[in-house]
Structure 1
């Protein structure tokens, strides 16, 4: 068993659960009730579900690889890079907003970065 991958998979699973539960209430429901035209609203709704699928699939892959003798280094590095890219996207959006305490306003990066770090460390 690879403890780093197990940790990354557990964190990724928690991130997916939070995304589905809390994010659905705080993001998707207001988005669908908002004033956007139907096409961009439905496109953003579909993107939400694409992210949900991605979070669940990557969590499953990390957990499955945690129990294999020789996990795919390429796949683990891909997932690590993916979560790092998500982290950087949230940080870029957050830090360019003119909000007080922006890092706490959109804290998703705090869930994404540890998955990336643990996944990367598992390959060293």
Structure 2
């Protein structure tokens, strides 16, 4: 068993639960009740659900990788999941830092949840 992948999977599960619960309360409800036109609102709502599915599938992949035999295929899948979470973290950091808010790193803290999953997955794949 790969403990790094298992820890990454458990951490990713926490990220998924946080996204689904807090995201629904803090992002989806205001989005749906806001003044956006129907089409952009529908697209953003669908994208939120896509991210929810993506996070849950990533948890499944990481748990599978933790329990699977170490092969070149599992390593490639692990690097893909790691790149995926690291890219998500970078996207949040770029957006957060480009807005010009005071204390920007705390305004959109999602990067703090995503980065550890990527780092733990890299540790397991290395």
TM above 0.5, yes or no, is yes
Residue of structure 1 in register with 2:59 after alignment: 59
How far is 1:123 from its partner?
1.2
Residue 120 of structure 1: aligned partner: 122
Task: Give the 3-state SS of the residue equivalent to 1:74 in structure 2.
Answer: helix
Paired with 2:14 and 2:124, the residues of 1 have a C-alpha distance of: 19
Q: TM-score, normalised to structure 2's length?
A: 0.96
Q: How does 1:1-124 map to 2 (within 5 A)?
A: 1-70=1-70, 72-124=74-126
The Cα of 1:96 is off from its aligned counterpart by 0.8
Compute the TM-score of the two structures, normalised by the length of structure 1.
Answer: 0.97
Q: Partners in 2 of 1:10 and 1:97 — Cα distance?
A: 31
* Alignment RMSD (CA, Å): 0.8
Q: In structure 1, how many angstroms separate the alpha carbons of the residues matched to 2:101 and 2:38?
A: 29
After TM superposition, give the deviation of residue 69 of structure 1 in Å. 2.0
- Once the two structures are TM-superposed, the CA of residue 67 in structure 1 deviates from its matched residue by 1.1
Partner of 1:95: helix, strand, or coil? Answer: helix
Q: Which runs of 5+ in 2 are unaligned?
A: none
Q: Matched residue pairs, number? A: 124
Which protein has the bigger helix share? 2
- Partner Cα separation in structure 2 for residue 123 and residue 44 of structure 1: 33
Structure 2 counterpart SS, 1:36: coil
Structure 1 stretches lacking a partner, 5+ long: none
Residue 99 of structure 2 aligns to a residue whose secondary structure is: coil
